[in-house]
Structure 1
Amino acid sequence: MAREPLSVVVTTWNNADTIGTCLASVAFADEIVVLDSGSTDATREIALARGARVEVRAFAGYSLQKQAAIDLAQHRWVLLLDSDEALTALAAERVRRVLESPDAAGYVLLRREWVFWRWQPDRARLNHYVRLFDRTRARMSGHEVHESVVVDGPVKRLDAVIDHYGERDIEGRVDKANRYSSLQVRDRHARAPRLLRTRMVLYPTVAFARYYFWRGHWRGGWAGFVAARVHAFYAFLKYAKLYELRRSGGEGNGRPFDAERGED
């Protein structure tokens, strides 16, 4: 049966270690678009070798960069991936199958996380995101970080899993927590949350419990414990940095935030 043509869209910056696996997992697509932020490694060469159309644009922020990549797609249906993600073989088959007769404006896919030295345990809760969508009825949310696809129309869950290789070590995960918490200050400052000191004290404990117990990462042994602790530290940093910003009159340490580059 004929299916809707599919554009796969990926944003990159120095992702030579993962982009090949990412693009190999979507070789069935009718078009692969890679929007690069100026890589200095072999990212673009690998993408070209995998048959991708590669464009280069200075990084404008996570949400804006992904929206720009989506706008480059030639086809109506888009699958949005990060450069350190890859579809499982079963997920690729289910994406092909649903495009034979789409019955929603967007589809949520599940994501399995690599946690330092192992995959998250099978019974831990999987993250889920809208990744397959009709681009004429969707847009990026515009958030500085943790950006998402906003769909105008019905959204359904597709029983398909994306493997996310993410940070391979604790240093990388802590570095990401530091960068992302700085970016989140801009979003949260605009919403003016109250009781910042109380949030600094209480929310990290809540965040740890939610990640470790409710999401089931206690099943992942020490990898899950360390990941939960870093997640709690990230929760603390978000409010501590916002408190610092408020104390300094909204100017931080007198230095403007720098735009970050890279992948989720």
Structure 2
Amino acid sequence: MREPLAISVLILTKNEQQDLPGCLHSVAWSDDVHVYDSGSTDETASIAQARGAQVTTRSYPHSAAPFGGDEAAHRNWGLRHIAFKHEWVLMLDADERATPELIAAMAAMLNQPGDVAAWRIHRRDYFLGTWIRHVTPSPFNIRLIRPAAVRYERIINPVTIVEGPVGDMDAHFDHFPFSKGLSHWFAKHNGYSTFEAAHIVNGGRGGDDFKLGQALFAQDANVRRMHQKALYYRLPLRPLVMFLGLYIGKRGFLDGRAGLVYATLRAIYEYMIVLKVTEMQSGLQQGGKP
């Protein structure tokens, strides 16, 4: 039996009874697993408890928002209030799996003291039974952290802000974003697109804090990505830009049918945002009133 690693695990959940068992199995090497639940109505909590995980439940203040509400604030609350046993915390979603390569890399990291405050880990997304190696837009994620050095910003798809050096770990975790089927994916992204659109209309994209130099040359990858997002939301024909960027620019065509379908889905998502911004700005939600 593998000796426990001195690393805590935090799994974010809401109605994850299907995917949670596999995730918990992949982190059985940890003696400090926490399931941070945002109000599941299925068997998520009981599954976690039956497998020895500690469950913390906290509902979002705005239940109409995607994933319940302000995701950044929710994550920040968890990092500040959950009593982790170890200095390092691995952050996972229920549809993600810690791989043997990642476990070995984390064990090696523990034996090499340093001043790194967080680690970026390569994410492998799977779709239609294959690893979509090229088409995914953001393959690296900050997931192994010292909680005191990390905070999150943005209501949805939060950006990770690290106070201190960030390292790149030569390992990966697996992600199965379509494990619940396309209907679930569309339902989730319908909610996401509504809030992305509202965020744009309310000035959350491309505002006065946007700097082109930061988008192109910022040394911190998260700062660069944040400003690149602002630049991206200023572009015309964003759905087409997204498709061409993923399918041609990132060579998604090398992923075969899965790459084509995934790039198309991402373009559809962008078009949903564009349409909803137009709807909000033109007042079409007023039921056609003059």
Question: Shorter chain as normaliser: what TM range?
Answer: 0.7 to 0.9
- Could you list the runs of 4 or more consecutive aligned residues of structure 1 that deviate by over 6 angstroms after TM superposition? none
> CA offset at residue 57 of structure 1?
1.4
Contact 2:125 2:132 in 1 (8 A): no
Alignment-derived partner of residue 110 in structure 2: 99
3-state SS, counterpart of residue 203 of structure 2 = helix
Please give the alpha-carbon distance, in whole angstroms, between the structure 2 residues aligned to 1:46 and 1:154: 36
TM-fit CA distance, 1:102: 4.1
Task: Determine if contact 1:13/1:37 at 8 Å carries over to the other structure.
Answer: yes
Of 178, 198, 203, the match for 1:190: 203
Query: What's 2:79 paired with?
Result: 70
Q: Which moved more, 1:184-193 or 1:156-165?
A: 184-193
- 1:238/1:193 CA distance change after superposition, 3 Å: farther
Rounded Cα–Cα distance in structure 1 between residues aligned with 2:187 and 2:236: 22
Match of 1:211 among 239, 243, 246: 246
Q: Displacement, 1:184?
A: 1.4
Give me the TM-score of the superposition, normalised by structure 1.
0.83
Unpaired runs of at least 5, structure 1: 256-264
Quick check: 121-130 or 39-48, which moved more? 121-130
Amino acid in the other structure paired with 1:37: S
Secondary structure of 1:69 counterpart: helix
Which sections of structure 2, spanning at least 5 residues, go unmatched? 62-68, 208-232
Match of 2:211 in 1: none
The one-letter amino acid of 2:164's match is G
> In the alignment, which residue of structure 1 is the partner of 2:19?
18
- Tell me the equivalent position of 2:212: none
Give the 3 Å change call, closer, same or farther, for CA 98–15 of structure 1 in structure 2.
Answer: same
Q: Which residue of 2 aligns with 1:84?
A: 95
CA distance in 2, matches of 1:222, 1:28: 36
Structure 1 residues 54, 241: CA separation in 2 closer, same or farther (over 3 Å shift)? same
Instruction: Give the CA deviation at 1:145.
Output: 1.4
Q: Give the share of equivalent positions with the same residue, in percent.
A: 29
- Residue 100 of structure 1: how far off its partner (Å): 2.5
Over 3 Å counting, the alpha-carbon distance change for 1:131 and 1:240 in structure 2 is same
1:231–1:102 distance in 2 versus 1, CA, 3 Å: farther
Identify which of 133, 136, 139 aligns with 1:127: 139
1:178 aligns with 2:190: yes
Q: How many residues align?
A: 246
Instruction: Report if the CA contact (8 A) 1:9-1:70 is conserved.
Output: no
Of the three residues 229, 233, 238, the one matched with 2:268 is 233
Length-normalised TM-score, structure 2:
0.76
Match of 1:261 in 2: none
